[in-house]
């Protein structure tokens, strides 16, 4: 059975993320979507909230599971038996970082391969940080995120405004 791991922060989940999941699910027997904790980012949603949003967004794919990645992605891939790490590339600007990560992962776990997916053209410019920024200014994000994510974004940003909290600089994903 071929198992792939698609890991990211997914803060928030976008249609670009779902597109990568859809395409990976068509190629592998099992896809684990791993919600990573990135100490360099200040997430809008908790790890558990992001996992729940992914479960909802990926419910149509019977061979997709969602899990939380507690540490290094490559170590988690070994733990869950994933021989492949799936990564999304939106633009050339993503490539350098992703190549560096893939090379590092190959050094740490030569048995785990990295595969890059580019999202469908209508999603290549979407990033979670841009979506969060649009939403923080009250913009319509319905064409960028699933309905459940849009609702949660509106609720979270309303909570922050009501509490006088900083709408913040959305995290990159």
End-to-end CA distance of the chain: 29
pLDDT tens digits along 67-100: 999 999 999 999 999 999 999 998 777 889 999 9
Other Cβ atoms closer than 10 A to 155:
10
Residue 132 CB burial class (10 angstroms; 0-12, 13-18, ≥19): buried
Sign of the alpha-carbon dihedral angle for 20, 26, 28, 30: positive
pLDDT tens digits along 59-75: 999 999 999 999 999 99
Q: What is the pLDDT of residue 169?
A: 41
- 3-state DSSP call for residue 140? coil
Q: Which domains does the chain have, with CATH numbers?
A: 3-162 (3.40.50.620)
When mean pLDDT is compared across 41-45, 47-51, 148-152, the lowest value belongs to 41-45
* Interior angle at CA 128, CA 127 and CA 134, nearest 5: 95
């Amino acid at each position: 059975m071929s198992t792939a791991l698609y890991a990211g922060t997914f803060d928030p989940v976008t249609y670009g993320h779902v597109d990568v999941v859809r395409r990976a699910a068509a190629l592998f027997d099992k896809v684990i979507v791993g919600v990573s904790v990135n100490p360099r980012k200040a997430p809008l949603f908790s790890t558990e909230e992001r996992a729940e949003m992914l479960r909802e967004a990926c419910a149509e794919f019977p061979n997709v599971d969602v899990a939380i990645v507690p540490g290094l992605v490559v170590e988690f891939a070994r733990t869950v038996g994933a021989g492949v790490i799936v990564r999304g590339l939106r633009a050339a600007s993503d490539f350098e970082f992703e190549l560096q990560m893939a090379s590092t992962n190959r050094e740490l776990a030569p048995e785990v391969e990295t595969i890059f997916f580019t999202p469908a053209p209508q999603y290549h410019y979407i990033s979670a940080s841009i979506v969060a920024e649009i939403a923080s200014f009250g913009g319509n994000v319905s064409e960028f995120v699933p309905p459940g994510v849009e609702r949660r974004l509106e609720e979270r940003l309303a909570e922050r405004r009501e509490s006088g909290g900083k709408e913040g600089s959305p995290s990159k994903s």
